[in-house]
Structure 1
Protein backbone atom coordinates (compact mmCIF):
# COMPACT_ATOMS: atom_id res chain seq x y z
CA UNK A 1 0.00 0.00 0.00
CA UNK A 2 1.07 3.56 -0.67
CA UNK A 3 2.96 4.93 2.39
CA UNK A 4 1.05 8.21 2.08
CA UNK A 5 -2.21 6.25 2.24
CA UNK A 6 -1.02 4.72 5.52
CA UNK A 7 -0.29 8.24 6.83
CA UNK A 8 -3.77 9.33 5.80
CA UNK A 9 -5.36 6.33 7.53
CA UNK A 10 -3.37 7.05 10.71
CA UNK A 11 -4.32 10.73 10.83
CA UNK A 12 -7.89 9.94 9.81
CA UNK A 13 -8.13 7.51 12.72
CA UNK A 14 -6.79 10.19 15.10
CA UNK A 15 -9.36 12.72 13.84
CA UNK A 16 -12.07 10.05 14.15
CA UNK A 17 -10.97 9.31 17.73
CA UNK A 18 -11.10 13.00 18.65
CA UNK A 19 -14.56 13.18 17.10
CA UNK A 20 -15.74 10.19 19.07
CA UNK A 21 -14.30 11.62 22.29
CA UNK A 22 -16.23 14.85 21.75
CA UNK A 23 -19.30 12.69 22.22
CA UNK A 24 -18.56 12.77 25.95
CA UNK A 25 -19.14 16.54 26.40
CA UNK A 26 -21.95 16.33 23.84
CA UNK A 27 -23.80 13.76 25.96
CA UNK A 28 -22.99 15.72 29.10
CA UNK A 29 -24.46 18.90 27.58
CA UNK A 30 -27.65 17.03 26.71
CA UNK A 31 -27.95 15.40 30.14
CA UNK A 32 -27.30 18.69 31.96
CA UNK A 33 -29.94 20.39 29.79
CA UNK A 34 -27.48 23.07 28.71
CA UNK A 35 -28.65 25.72 26.26
CA UNK A 36 -29.27 24.74 22.65
CA UNK A 37 -26.20 26.61 21.34
CA UNK A 38 -23.90 24.58 23.57
CA UNK A 39 -25.56 21.30 22.61
CA UNK A 40 -25.37 22.30 18.92
CA UNK A 41 -21.67 23.15 19.21
CA UNK A 42 -20.83 19.76 20.67
CA UNK A 43 -23.08 17.99 18.16
CA UNK A 44 -21.25 19.71 15.29
CA UNK A 45 -17.86 18.80 16.80
CA UNK A 46 -18.85 15.18 17.40
CA UNK A 47 -20.47 14.51 14.04
CA UNK A 48 -18.18 16.74 11.98
CA UNK A 49 -14.95 15.23 13.24
CA UNK A 50 -16.28 11.69 13.04
CA UNK A 51 -17.30 12.28 9.42
CA UNK A 52 -14.02 14.05 8.66
CA UNK A 53 -11.90 11.20 10.01
CA UNK A 54 -13.99 8.64 8.16
CA UNK A 55 -13.67 10.66 4.96
CA UNK A 56 -9.89 10.75 5.33
CA UNK A 57 -9.84 6.95 5.64
CA UNK A 58 -12.09 6.68 2.58
CA UNK A 59 -9.76 8.92 0.56
CA UNK A 60 -6.85 6.66 1.53
CA UNK A 61 -8.63 3.64 0.10
CA UNK A 62 -8.72 5.09 -3.42
CA UNK A 63 -5.25 6.63 -3.62
CA UNK A 64 -3.67 3.58 -5.23
CA UNK A 65 -6.23 3.66 -8.06
CA UNK A 66 -5.48 7.24 -9.08
CA UNK A 67 -2.80 8.36 -11.52
CA UNK A 68 -1.16 11.01 -9.36
CA UNK A 69 2.29 12.48 -9.64
CA UNK A 70 4.18 12.44 -6.31
CA UNK A 71 3.62 16.14 -5.60
CA UNK A 72 -0.14 15.90 -6.19
CA UNK A 73 -0.32 12.74 -4.08
CA UNK A 74 1.54 14.46 -1.23
CA UNK A 75 -0.60 17.60 -1.57
CA UNK A 76 -3.85 15.65 -1.54
CA UNK A 77 -2.88 13.67 1.54
CA UNK A 78 -1.43 16.48 3.61
CA UNK A 79 -4.10 19.01 2.72
CA UNK A 80 -6.55 16.52 4.24
CA UNK A 81 -4.33 15.99 7.28
CA UNK A 82 -3.96 19.73 7.89
CA UNK A 83 -7.69 20.18 7.30
CA UNK A 84 -8.56 17.45 9.80
CA UNK A 85 -6.39 18.94 12.52
CA UNK A 86 -7.67 22.45 11.77
CA UNK A 87 -11.19 21.22 12.45
CA UNK A 88 -9.91 19.29 15.52
CA UNK A 89 -8.96 22.66 16.97
CA UNK A 90 -11.89 24.74 15.72
CA UNK A 91 -14.86 22.51 16.47
CA UNK A 92 -14.22 21.34 20.05
CA UNK A 93 -12.69 24.67 21.09
CA UNK A 94 -15.61 26.55 19.54
CA UNK A 95 -18.11 24.35 21.40
CA UNK A 96 -16.17 24.77 24.64
CA UNK A 97 -15.93 28.58 24.49
CA UNK A 98 -19.28 29.14 22.77
CA UNK A 99 -18.04 30.64 19.50
CA UNK A 100 -18.88 29.59 15.97
CA UNK A 101 -15.95 31.27 14.24
CA UNK A 102 -17.91 32.26 11.15
CA UNK A 103 -16.17 35.64 10.83
CA UNK A 104 -12.83 37.08 11.89
CA UNK A 105 -14.39 39.80 14.05
CA UNK A 106 -14.81 39.48 17.78
CA UNK A 107 -12.74 38.09 20.61
CA UNK A 108 -9.46 36.23 20.32
CA UNK A 109 -11.36 33.00 21.09
CA UNK A 110 -13.58 33.58 18.07
CA UNK A 111 -10.53 34.33 15.93
CA UNK A 112 -8.92 31.02 16.95
CA UNK A 113 -12.10 29.16 15.99
CA UNK A 114 -12.30 31.13 12.73
CA UNK A 115 -8.66 30.33 11.88
CA UNK A 116 -9.20 26.62 12.54
CA UNK A 117 -12.33 26.65 10.39
CA UNK A 118 -10.49 28.39 7.54
CA UNK A 119 -7.56 25.96 7.68
CA UNK A 120 -10.02 23.07 7.70
CA UNK A 121 -12.17 24.41 4.88
CA UNK A 122 -9.28 25.38 2.60
CA UNK A 123 -7.52 22.05 3.14
CA UNK A 124 -10.71 20.14 2.40
CA UNK A 125 -11.33 22.19 -0.73
CA UNK A 126 -7.81 21.59 -2.06
CA UNK A 127 -8.02 17.85 -1.39
CA UNK A 128 -11.46 17.50 -2.95
CA UNK A 129 -10.47 19.41 -6.09
CA UNK A 130 -7.33 17.26 -6.40
CA UNK A 131 -9.43 14.12 -6.00
CA UNK A 132 -11.82 15.23 -8.74
CA UNK A 133 -9.04 16.18 -11.15
CA UNK A 134 -7.18 12.96 -10.33
CA UNK A 135 -10.27 10.91 -11.10
CA UNK A 136 -10.75 12.71 -14.40
CA UNK A 137 -7.08 12.26 -15.28
CA UNK A 138 -7.25 8.57 -14.40
CA UNK A 139 -10.36 8.12 -16.54
CA UNK A 140 -9.22 10.00 -19.62
CA UNK A 141 -5.41 9.77 -19.67
CA UNK A 142 -3.76 6.45 -20.34
Structure 2
Protein backbone atom coordinates (compact mmCIF):
# COMPACT_ATOMS: atom_id res chain seq x y z
CA UNK A 1 0.00 0.00 0.00
CA UNK A 2 1.38 3.35 -1.00
CA UNK A 3 0.09 6.65 -2.27
CA UNK A 4 -2.29 9.24 -0.96
CA UNK A 5 -5.78 8.57 0.34
CA UNK A 6 -8.67 11.04 0.47
CA UNK A 7 -11.74 11.34 2.63
CA UNK A 8 -14.45 13.99 2.37
CA UNK A 9 -16.13 14.60 5.73
CA UNK A 10 -18.83 16.69 7.37
CA UNK A 11 -18.54 18.41 10.73
CA UNK A 12 -20.74 15.79 12.41
CA UNK A 13 -19.05 12.93 14.21
CA UNK A 14 -19.83 9.29 14.97
CA UNK A 15 -20.31 8.68 18.66
CA UNK A 16 -18.61 7.14 20.54
CA UNK A 17 -15.62 6.93 18.19
CA UNK A 18 -15.38 10.60 17.23
CA UNK A 19 -14.41 10.31 13.56
CA UNK A 20 -16.20 12.63 11.15
CA UNK A 21 -19.05 11.39 8.95
CA UNK A 22 -18.23 10.90 5.29
CA UNK A 23 -19.89 13.14 2.71
CA UNK A 24 -21.91 10.26 1.26
CA UNK A 25 -23.96 10.34 4.48
CA UNK A 26 -24.70 14.07 4.23
CA UNK A 27 -27.52 13.78 1.65
CA UNK A 28 -29.47 11.94 4.35
CA UNK A 29 -29.65 15.27 6.16
CA UNK A 30 -31.95 16.51 3.40
CA UNK A 31 -34.52 13.92 4.39
CA UNK A 32 -34.73 15.66 7.76
CA UNK A 33 -35.00 19.11 6.13
CA UNK A 34 -36.66 18.74 2.70
CA UNK A 35 -36.69 22.49 2.13
CA UNK A 36 -32.88 22.52 2.14
CA UNK A 37 -32.57 21.22 -1.42
CA UNK A 38 -34.48 21.93 -4.61
CA UNK A 39 -35.84 19.11 -6.78
CA UNK A 40 -33.01 19.65 -9.27
CA UNK A 41 -30.41 19.41 -6.50
CA UNK A 42 -32.10 16.30 -5.07
CA UNK A 43 -32.03 14.62 -8.50
CA UNK A 44 -28.36 15.50 -9.00
CA UNK A 45 -27.52 14.14 -5.53
CA UNK A 46 -29.50 10.97 -6.23
CA UNK A 47 -27.62 10.48 -9.51
CA UNK A 48 -24.23 10.75 -7.80
CA UNK A 49 -25.21 8.41 -4.97
CA UNK A 50 -26.63 5.90 -7.45
CA UNK A 51 -23.33 5.92 -9.34
CA UNK A 52 -21.46 5.09 -6.12
CA UNK A 53 -23.91 2.29 -5.29
CA UNK A 54 -23.16 0.76 -8.70
CA UNK A 55 -19.41 1.46 -8.89
CA UNK A 56 -18.08 1.15 -5.36
CA UNK A 57 -17.59 -2.30 -3.93
CA UNK A 58 -18.09 -2.78 -0.25
CA UNK A 59 -16.45 -5.25 2.09
CA UNK A 60 -18.37 -8.36 3.10
CA UNK A 61 -16.04 -8.80 6.06
CA UNK A 62 -12.89 -7.25 7.44
CA UNK A 63 -9.58 -9.09 7.72
CA UNK A 64 -6.17 -8.02 8.91
CA UNK A 65 -3.30 -10.39 8.18
CA UNK A 66 -5.62 -13.40 7.78
CA UNK A 67 -7.32 -12.73 11.12
CA UNK A 68 -10.98 -11.63 11.18
CA UNK A 69 -11.55 -8.22 12.75
CA UNK A 70 -14.04 -8.32 15.66
CA UNK A 71 -17.35 -6.57 14.94
CA UNK A 72 -16.74 -3.90 17.63
CA UNK A 73 -13.50 -2.89 15.89
CA UNK A 74 -15.24 -2.89 12.51
CA UNK A 75 -17.29 0.06 13.76
CA UNK A 76 -14.10 2.13 14.02
CA UNK A 77 -12.96 1.37 10.44
CA UNK A 78 -12.83 4.35 8.09
CA UNK A 79 -13.19 4.35 4.30
CA UNK A 80 -10.66 6.22 2.17
CA UNK A 81 -10.63 6.66 -1.60
CA UNK A 82 -7.32 6.28 -3.39
CA UNK A 83 -6.18 9.60 -4.89
CA UNK A 84 -5.23 7.62 -8.00
CA UNK A 85 -8.88 6.58 -8.54
CA UNK A 86 -9.57 9.57 -10.82
CA UNK A 87 -13.18 8.71 -11.68
CA UNK A 88 -14.16 8.14 -8.07
CA UNK A 89 -12.40 11.28 -6.87
CA UNK A 90 -14.07 13.35 -9.61
CA UNK A 91 -17.51 11.97 -8.61
CA UNK A 92 -16.80 12.65 -4.93
CA UNK A 93 -15.86 16.24 -5.69
CA UNK A 94 -19.12 16.63 -7.63
CA UNK A 95 -21.04 15.15 -4.69
CA UNK A 96 -19.25 17.52 -2.30
CA UNK A 97 -20.16 20.55 -4.43
CA UNK A 98 -23.81 19.47 -4.63
CA UNK A 99 -24.05 18.81 -0.89
CA UNK A 100 -22.44 22.12 0.03
CA UNK A 101 -24.61 24.08 -2.40
CA UNK A 102 -27.88 22.34 -1.58
CA UNK A 103 -27.62 22.13 2.16
CA UNK A 104 -25.02 24.67 3.10
CA UNK A 105 -23.15 21.82 4.74
CA UNK A 106 -19.41 22.32 4.89
CA UNK A 107 -17.35 19.37 3.67
CA UNK A 108 -13.65 19.09 4.50
CA UNK A 109 -11.10 17.09 2.54
CA UNK A 110 -8.75 14.93 4.58
CA UNK A 111 -5.56 13.49 3.08
CA UNK A 112 -3.18 10.91 4.43
CA UNK A 113 -0.53 8.46 3.38
CA UNK A 114 -1.20 6.44 6.55
CA UNK A 115 -4.89 5.50 6.75
CA UNK A 116 -4.29 2.79 9.34
CA UNK A 117 -4.38 -1.01 9.39
CA UNK A 118 -5.97 -1.99 6.08
CA UNK A 119 -8.89 -4.39 6.57
CA UNK A 120 -10.31 -4.09 3.02
CA UNK A 121 -8.86 -2.88 -0.27
CA UNK A 122 -9.89 -2.76 -3.91
CA UNK A 123 -8.74 -0.74 -6.94
CA UNK A 124 -10.45 2.45 -5.71
CA UNK A 125 -10.53 2.44 -1.93
CA UNK A 126 -9.28 1.12 1.36
CA UNK A 127 -11.05 0.61 4.65
CA UNK A 128 -8.72 0.90 7.61
CA UNK A 129 -8.61 0.80 11.38
CA UNK A 130 -7.02 4.21 11.98
CA UNK A 131 -3.65 4.77 13.60
CA UNK A 132 -3.54 7.25 16.49
CA UNK A 133 -2.23 9.95 14.12
CA UNK A 134 -4.66 9.22 11.24
CA UNK A 135 -6.89 12.22 10.42
CA UNK A 136 -10.50 11.54 11.26
Give the shorter-chain TM-score range.
0.3 to 0.5
Query: Given the two structures, how large is their TM-score scaled by the length of structure 1?
Result: 0.33
Q: Which has the higher strand share?
A: 2
Query: Given the two structures, how large is their TM-score scaled by the length of structure 2?
Result: 0.34
Q: Which has more radius of gyration?
A: 1
Q: Which has the higher helix share?
A: 1
Q: Which has the higher contact order (CA 8 A, sep 6+)?
A: 2
